[in-house]
Amino acid sequence: MPEMIINGLAVNFRSGETVLQAALAGGIHIPALCHHPGLGHFGSCRLCLVEILAGGRPGLAASCSLPASEDLVVETGTERVVRARRVVLGLLLARCPDAKPLLELAENLGAVKFTPRPGDPGCILCGRCVRACRAVGANVIGFAWRGRDRRVAVPFDQPPADCLGCRACEQVCPVNVIKVVEDRGRIRIFPWQSEIEMAYCRNCGAAIGPGVQAGRLQKRFPVEGPLSGLCPACRRRFQAALAGGLVIQPT
Amino acid sequence: MTGNEYTDIVKRHTSPNGRVLSILEEIQRKYRHLPEEALRAAAEELNLPLSQLYGVATFYTSFSLQPRGEHIIGVCHGTVCHVKGAARVTAELEKKLGVSEGGTTGDGKFTLESVKCLGCCSLAPVVSIDGSVHARVKPETVDELIKSAIPGGAPGD
Amino acid sequence: MTEGGIKHRVESGRDLQALEKKGLELLYPGRPRIAVAMASCGRAAGSGRIYESIGDELERRGLDASLVPAGCPGLCSREPLVTVLEPGKARIYYSGVQPADAGPLVSALAGGEVYQKRALGAEVEDRLVVTGRQIDLGPPPGNLGLLADLDFYRPQVRLATRNCGCINPFSIHEYAARGGYRALAEALAGDPSGIIAEIKKSGLRGRGGAGFPTGLKWEITAGSGHDEKYIICNGDEGDPGAYMDRSILEGDPHSVLEGMIIGAYCMGARHGIIYVRAEYPLAIKTVGHAIAQARELGLLGENILNSGLSFDVEVVMGAGAFVCGEETALIASIEGHPGEPRPRPPYPARQGLWGKPTCINNVETLANIPLIAGRGGDWYAGLGTAGSRGTKVFALVGKVKNSGLVEVPMGTTIGDIVLGAGGGPDGGRKLKAVQTGGPSGGCIPASLVDLPVDYESLTGAGTIMGSGGMVVMDESVCMVDMARYFMTFAAGESCGKCTPCREGTAEILDILDRITQGGGRPEDLDTLDELSRVVKDASLCGLGQTATNPVLSTLRYFRSEYEAHIKDKHCPAGVCRNLTVYRINPELCIGCGLCAEECPGGAILGRDDQPRVISQESCTRCGACYRICPQEAIFFTGRGMPGA
Ligand SMILES: Cc1cc2nc3c(=O)[nH]c(=O)nc-3n(C[C@H](O)[C@H](O)[C@H](O)COP(=O)(O)O)c2cc1C
Ligand code: FES
């Protein structure tokens, strides 16, 4: 396997991997916020900075989007890296003064103090939710506006009709500002204000999943006649029974 | 303004390159803003997520979600115009039109904007009125300028 | 403004000669030819009306002359500009022409004379740089100097802007008559790698700001194996204070098209896109017209000049976003997304528009290509310095006497440009600083006038070449306000994707706002310095990586001015209103009362011929009185200064 040098140590990497991936696999910790192993790289938070000493353009680079390569020599803790990281973290904290994960990071890494100027409550604009919604959801959220006005938004701030309720956004948010409330057969996702009815099995009453998702599945992979509207377990049982020649009347 | 009109606009732009920009540009030009139903119709016709079009509509300064005035008065705030007193021109226009920068007059006639360098720096400060650029604008004579550039367009009337 | 004449396809060198012949008849028509500079700058100065008035006059007198629009010859501050060429005589340039001049100008022409009142200079020969050919026009009139001897033109070598102001930009024939499309014809007869080798030899570096070697970029794109490739001309030109690309697109669009077609041949691209910012409607129109003409003649489309090359170009209009000049944002924008940059690599040369290899070049870069292809790399490399070959067009603007576009060999000093061509600050004030590179560049102090302009020297001095903006500042300009201006720009244009650029520029702007309003604190300068360095170091794209150069350079060269703002609450230039106190020196005041008339706030007290006083409560510190006072009796001082 090819090798590169991180903090003076030879680290193996597979072709196509980034420096951050190689470092993590080699047991070297680099703090990162917008990076998520399940999503393509984005390079927006700038916390994962490393300093390139050789094998690339000298200076700082975001390790999450820096391809690992044979002659690359980087350091993760030079003075320049530390200084930049503290400023970046400080700027994020000025935006989200109460974000616990940031406060914890600041405790470990240090952060420069700036005047608080709260942005869109608690959101650090890492874009993980946007990318997750694009990858597995229905692409209902996106970045809107620009500069300091940038925020993750649903179009026209209207509850998105197409939201699947897949909750991918909630799962990937590093600062836990996406909240899902389950309430009387529906889920509500904040701050998008999506409201999704859950679908229940006609037979046993177990939750099948968000109604929109169930509707989509039904459209794409239709289940006909008496087997429709059942949870997988009930469907399998009835399928077996049907094969045996029984006529059933789901209640 | 039926959904069909928007769909017709979408259909006229066939090249994939710059398609979204040119469609939104045409809608903006025709309706002086991007109405919600226009974005919805365009997203549907283009088979693109509405979130993408909303992102584009809010990112670029050529687009606006609120209607702009019939006439757009853009004061250049490029470097040279800044150095040569663009702020005073804007202040004077604000006074004359009774709106602040970015605003539209109550009668929907004028929108006062700050625009990025128009590339006529040697003639600074410059003001663009409905797309045509006017050189060496003096705060004292902005109302005459508007009157001569827009027939029947005396501000404050 | 379409042209009559040849309509069939241009398929061979012979067809091209026919095009050229027709063009020569248009350029040198055997009757007077009057060209009015009608680029955006000319139109803003009123050239549209001049064009009409001259047309009316010609008709009224029944004078047979050809009247055409032209691009901008560069001296924008003297616009409206008109040139008159009579057979066998030198070409006369007129400047500052007013509609009322149309009559006398035309009657002078009818009498075979020069209209002295507006005459600027004479041109005795036309040099076609692409071919090296020289066309003698005729002797200069006795009482008029040569245009080339004017301060403004003396240091210039006009390569990229070779046709701007000479030809009718709507005429492909006139372009051909100046040697246009010849380099293309020769290129298509040869080997693509040979042309790339010439471009590498020329040392041409990208004129869009980053200065990447063009030949190398072409080689990489050519080597990116793929059957579909793109070539994009970057005409986003968002730097405030720079407009050379606009001038080329408006004045000589075919030079850019020819550069793109040569590029397409070298790199194997089938599709071309010219991305022009929305603020340039005339450029969009002119380029669109040029594309249609080239297509009509078969210089774009299938099997160009029977070479087997198929290539077409379309225009994409921007929608108001400076960051879209950054190449990955530009691609996102064309693909229908917000203009948000992405990390590189992969570089567009490998993975660009729609994932296909894409070569992105600046307008001026492309306009140089036909020259290099035609005259060879060595010829081009003969100009400039070791690291920066050829010429560069600068927008010489701001507080300078002769303002406009100057094209000079790389390595010319700041002084030769600003004090020489520009004639120094206007209005008799002292030169204070020169800002290059727009919002990505920095301010160099007047003490560095001997600095040669090339990529390395400018970077060493804390600024950049950028796209070629050169804003001259005299003592009436406040450097802290300048830094604040550029940070306002950067914060407003930041896409907001990455933390340092989004939050950092906003934080810096807050601090600068505070300083210019009198709330500066001693520790602010260190914070500014640290923040600026980190934003530069840690940002995702070139916007953030250069956005703080205006702050860093002013901190480096004008630190004492920051200190005056912070410690003494004093703006030495009198620009920052909250810090400035206006007073009247009773010994100098003659009581003329002009100041009171001018004052918008009624803050000037006293009457008759008594010395006036300023009521500090009512004064808005606009400085109107200061500017109008004929006795220079009004002065300003800092809020925190003794005696304020
Ligand atoms: C914020 C930003 C704005 C830019 N704006 C422009 C521009 O307006 N025109 C341009 O040609 N290049 C611009 N560039 C540089 C381009 O990214 C790119 O380097 C250039 O177009 C390549 O062409 P060249 O090699 O011929 O210079 C900009 C870069 C950045 C970071
Ligand atoms: S994790 Fe690399 S920039 Fe955010």
C394 and C244 in contact (C-beta within 8 Å)?
Answer: yes
Task: Determine phi and psi for C161, rounding to 5 degrees.
Answer: -100, 25
Span of A107-121, C318-332, C500-514 with lowest mean pLDDT? A107-121
* pLDDT attached to residue C225: 84
C391-474 with C577-638: one CATH topology?
no
- As annotated, the residues of chain B forming the CATH 3.40.30.10 domain(s) are 71-149
CATH topology of domain C29-86+92-131: Glutaredoxin (3.40.30)
Q: Distance (Å, rounded) from C-alpha B121 to C-alpha B107?
A: 32
Q: What percentage of chain C reaches a pLDDT higher than 70?
A: 99
Q: Do C534 and A114 touch (CB under 8 A)?
A: no
Q: What is the pLDDT of residue B143?
A: 87
The strand pairing partners of A207, in sequence order, are: A200
Cβ distance C503 to A91 less than 8 Å, yes or no, reads yes
> In the predicted model, is pLDDT for residue A247 greater than 80?
no
Which atom from ligand 1 is nearest to the alpha carbon of C207? 27
Under DSSP, is residue A158 helix (H, G, I), strand (E, B) or coil?
A: coil
Q: B47 contacts in C (CB within 8 Å)?
A: none
The angle at the Cα of C484, spanning C480 to C486, to the nearest 5 degrees, equals: 120
Taking the domains of chain C in order of start, what are their residue ranges?
29-86+92-131, 191-381, 391-474, 479-567, 577-638
* Residue C277 alpha carbon, nearest atom of ligand 1: 8
Give distance in angstroms: CA of A220 to centre of ligand 1.
Answer: 46
Q: Nearest CA to CA, how far is A4 from chain B (Å)?
A: 39
Tell me the pLDDT band of C1, cut-offs 50, 70 and 90: very low
Q: Which of C163, C160, C149, C146 is nearest to C37 (CA)?
A: C163
Does B39 sit within 8 Å of A144, measured CB to CB? no
The pairs formed by C44-49 with CB atoms below 8 angstroms and a separation of 24 or more are: C44/B120, C44/B123, C44/B126, C44/B132, C44/B133, C44/B134, C44/B135, C45/B123, C45/B135, C45/C76, C45/C79, C45/C80, C46/B135, C46/C80, C46/C98, C46/C99, C47/C79, C47/C80, C47/C81, C49/C99
Q: Whose CA is nearest to atom 8 of ligand 1?
A: C237
Ligand 2 proximity of A49 Cβ (cutoff 6 Å): no
Q: What angle do CA C213, C217, C218 make, to 5 degrees?
A: 120
Kindly list the residues from chain B whose CB atom is less than 8 angstroms away from the CB atom of residue A146. Answer: 58-59
What pLDDT sits at residue B154? 55
A196 touches ligand 2 (CB under 6 Å): no
What is the CB-side half-sphere exposure of residue A35 using CA atoms within 13 A?
19
Q: What is the pLDDT of residue A142?
A: 98
Q: pTM for the whole thing? A: 0.95
Atom of ligand 2 nearest to the CA of A44: 3
Interfacial residues of C (vs A; Cβ cutoff 8 Å): 321, 338, 340, 342-343, 345, 491-500, 502-507, 510, 530-531, 534, 537-540
Query: Per residue in C452-475, pLDDT tens?
Result: 999 999 999 999 999 999 999 999
| Out of C239, C317, C404, closest to residue B25 by CB | C317
**How confident is the prediction for chain A on average, in pLDDT?**
93
Domain B71-149 has CATH 3.40.30.10: yes
Nearest CA to ligand 1 atom 31: C542
What pLDDT band is residue A120 in, cutting at 50, 70 and 90? confident
- The one-letter code for the residue type at A58 is P
Q: List C469's β-bridge partners, or say none.
A: C395
Asked if B53's CB is within 8 angstroms of A156's CB, the reply is: no
The contacts of residue A187 (CB under 8 Å, 6+ apart) are A165, A167, A180, A181, A195, A196, A198, A210
Per-residue confidence (pLDDT) for residue C20, from 0 to 100: 95
| Per-residue pLDDT tens over the stretch C401-447 | 999 999 999 999 999 999 999 999 988 899 999 999 999 999 999 99
Ligand 1, atom 4, residue with closest C-alpha: C325
CATH class of the domain whose range is C577-638: alpha beta
Third-level CATH fold of C191-381: Rossmann fold (3.40.50)
CATH of C479-567, one of 1.20.1050.90, 1.20.1250.20, 3.40.190.10, 1.20.1440.230: 1.20.1440.230
> For residues C101 and B42, what is the distance between their CA atoms, to the nearest angstrom?
52
Domains observed in chain A: 3-109 (3.10.20.740), 128-200 (no CATH), 207-243 (no CATH)
CB contact under 8 A, C333 and B25: no
> What is the pLDDT at residue B1?
52
Which of C338, C340, C538 lies nearest to residue A88, judging by beta carbons?
C538
Tokens of B90: 């804007």
- In a mutational test of the B interface, the residue from A129, A131, A136, A143 whose CB has the highest number of chain B CBs within 10 Å is A143
* ipTM value: 0.94
Residue C272 φ/ψ region, left for φ over 0, alpha for ψ in the -120 to 50 degree band, beta for the rest: beta
Q: Single out the residue of C183, C159, C157 nearest to residue C20, CA to CA.
A: C183
What are the tens digits of pLDDT across the range C194-239?
A: 999 999 999 999 999 989 999 999 999 999 988 899 999 999 999 9
Residue of A146, A150, A152, A175 to mutate, testing the C interface (most C Cβ within 10 Å of its Cβ): A146
CA distance C419 to chain A (A): 37
Contacts of B59 in chain A (CB under 8 A): 144-146
Q: What is the mean pLDDT of residues C64-69?
A: 97
Q: What is the pLDDT of residues C470-509, one digit of tens each?
A: 999 999 999 999 999 999 999 999 999 999 999 999 999 9
Nearest by CB to A144, which of B36, B49, B54?
B54
- Give the pLDDT confidence of A203-214 residue by residue, as tens digits: 999 888 888 888
Residue A250 has pLDDT above 70, yes or no: no
With a 6 A CB cut-off, is A50 part of the ligand 2 pocket? no
Contact A144 B49 (CB under 8 A): no
Biggest alpha carbon–alpha carbon distance for chain A = 76
Are C547 and A147 contacting, i.e. CB atoms less than 8 angstroms apart? Answer: no
**What whole-number distance in Å separates Cα of residue C247 and Cα of residue C234?**
14
Name chain B contacts of A156, Cβ cutoff 8 Å.
Answer: 36, 54, 65
Return the ligand number nearest the Cα of C220.
1
Q: What number is the average pLDDT over the span C535-542?
A: 98
pLDDT of residue C447: 96
d(C-alpha C631, C-alpha C635), whole Å: 11
Q: For C112-157, what is each residue's pLDDT tens digit?
A: 999 999 999 999 999 999 999 999 999 999 889 999 999 999 999 9
The rounded mean pLDDT for chain C is 95
pLDDT of residue A70: 95
Spell C457-471 as b/e; 16+ CB within 10 A means b: bbeebbbbbbbbbbb
Q: Give me the pLDDT at residue A228, please.
A: 87
Query: Can you tell me the mean pLDDT for C63-72?
Result: 97
State yes or no: pLDDT of C330 exceeds 70.
Answer: yes
| Chain B residue at shortest CA distance from C76 | B122
CATH number of this structure's domain C391-474: 3.10.20.600
* Arithmetic mean of pLDDT, C352-377: 98
Average pLDDT over residues C521-548: 97
Residue A188 to residue C181: CA distance in whole angstroms? 64
How far is the alpha carbon of C200 from chain A, nearest alpha carbon, in Å?
22
Neighbours of C12 (CB within 10 A): 12
pLDDT of residue B157: 43
What pLDDT score was predicted for residue A240? 86
Give the closest residue (by CA) to ligand 1 atom 12: C208
Alpha-carbon distance C194 to A64, whole Å? 40
Please list the residues that pair with C66 across neighbouring strands.
C33
**Does the pLDDT value for residue C640 go beyond 90?**
no
Chain B hits for A139, CB-CB cut-off 8 Å, are: 49, 51-52
State residue C7's pLDDT score. 60
**Which protein residue has the closest C-alpha to ligand 1 atom 6?**
C325
For residue range C625-638, what is the model confidence (pLDDT) as tens digits? Answer: 998 999 999 999 99
**Helix, strand, coil distribution of chain C in percent, nearest 5:** 40, 15, 40
Given a contact cutoff of 8 angstroms between Cβ atoms, the answer to whether A127 and A42 are in contact is yes
Q: Note whether C540 and C513 are within 8 A (CB).
A: no
Percentage of residues of chain C with pLDDT beyond 90: 93
**CA of residue A17 to ligand 2 center, whole Å:** 15
Neighbours of C414 (CB within 10 A): 26
Confidence at residue B156, expressed as pLDDT on a 0 to 100 scale: 46
* pLDDT, tens digit only, all 157 positions of chain B: 556 899 999 999 999 999 999 999 999 999 999 999 999 999 999 999 999 999 999 999 999 999 999 999 999 999 999 999 999 999 999 999 999 999 999 999 999 999 999 999 999 999 999 988 999 999 988 988 988 888 766 554 4
Q: Give CA–CA dist C111/C109, Å, rounded.
A: 5
Tell me the two tokens of residue A75: 């350091």
Q: Is the pLDDT of residue A248 over 80?
A: no
Residues C151, C154, C157, C163, CA torsion sign: positive
Yes or no: say if A165 and A193 are a contact pair by the CB < 8 Å rule: no
**pLDDT of res. C226:** 80
